[in-house]
Structure 1
């Protein structure tokens, strides 16, 4: 048997306290609900046009920001970034005390000619991502490698930031 207790402290036009908390925690869910109210499914595009579904469309910045792993080791920080389609020469990496910024811009052009037919496509993209590091690093001793679309940065920690064990006497 499922029992549920709801407590409302003051009357509200936006619903119960639980609903308002949920809206604060997930604002996108609230926006989805509002748009569904404005544009019901009956107003959708005719199926015979075979337009792509909204859920299948790519988000504006999806795929343009690299996925990054940050590993905090005793004496260093390892940063791995997935950068498919990026060449080593297109990378720009800058370090500050406790941040690293990875930037890249790419451009690819393809051309196909067959008789009277000409197809030309130019693809370009750019991104920048700044990552807050868990500790200050020594930028002058940083090492970087790039292989198979994966960037690895090995960043030695600054002396005061290194972990030390303290023995209790």
Structure 2
């Protein structure tokens, strides 16, 4: 467990979002261009896995890159578009560029070989299965000799 960020406005307790950011090791969050935003992320834990959902509408699965390196998972996306229009003999060319990057330190209990990702309806879903020894075991009765 790591220390939580403490903002003066929080008075007595750190915010829940800062707790999760610290727990998951958010190392880098950036919008490259003014006006870009970092997608919201939901993280849920079950007995079998950690589930991450990234809200990123308007992208295609080809726009994402998920990289695992030394216990760090980085989700990133880059998208650029070029539009050209001609109105009343005025030519206008517009460029659009957006990118984001989110990094998470993975718990040692994650079975890295079985991680999978699916992008559907504007949400990137990543399943991080747990190793067998990390799953909750049923209670065991010890026989006394």
TM more than 0.5: yes
Could you tell me whether the CA contact under 8 Å between 1:112 and 1:118 is conserved in 2? yes
Q: What is the match of residue 158 of structure 1? A: 131
1:100 maps onto 2:82 in alignment: no
Distance 1:61 1:157 in 2: 38
Structure of higher CA gyration radius: 1
CA change 1:61–1:112 in 2 (3 A) is: closer
Of Structure 1 and Structure 2, the greater strand share is in 2
TM-superposed CA distance for 1:120, in Å, is 1.5
- 1:7-48 deviations in Å (ceiling 9; x for gaps): xxxxxxxxxxxxxxxxx7338xxxxxxxxxxxxxxxxxxxxx
Mapped pair 1:142 → 2:133: no
Superposition RMSD in Å: 2.6
Tell me if structure 1 keeps the 8 A contact 2:76–2:99: yes
Q: TM-score, normalised by structure 2?
A: 0.65
Equivalent residues of 1:97, 1:137 under 8 A apart = no
Contact 2:117 2:125 in 1 (8 A): yes
Asked whether 1:114 is paired with 2:87, we answer yes
Q: Map 1:48-87; keep pairs closer than 5 Å.
A: 63-87=36-60
CA gap of 1:165–1:135, structure 2 versus 1, over 3 A, is farther
In structure 1, the gaps of 5 or more residues are 1-23, 28-59
Q: Which has the higher contact order (CA 8 A, sep 6+)?
A: 2
Contact preservation (8 Å) 2:37, 2:100:
yes
Deviation at 1:97, TM superposition (A): 7.0
Are the aligned partners of 1:110 and 1:121 in contact in 2 as well (CA < 8 Å)?
A: yes
Aligned residues: 114
1:32-43 maps to which residues of 2 (within 5 A)? none
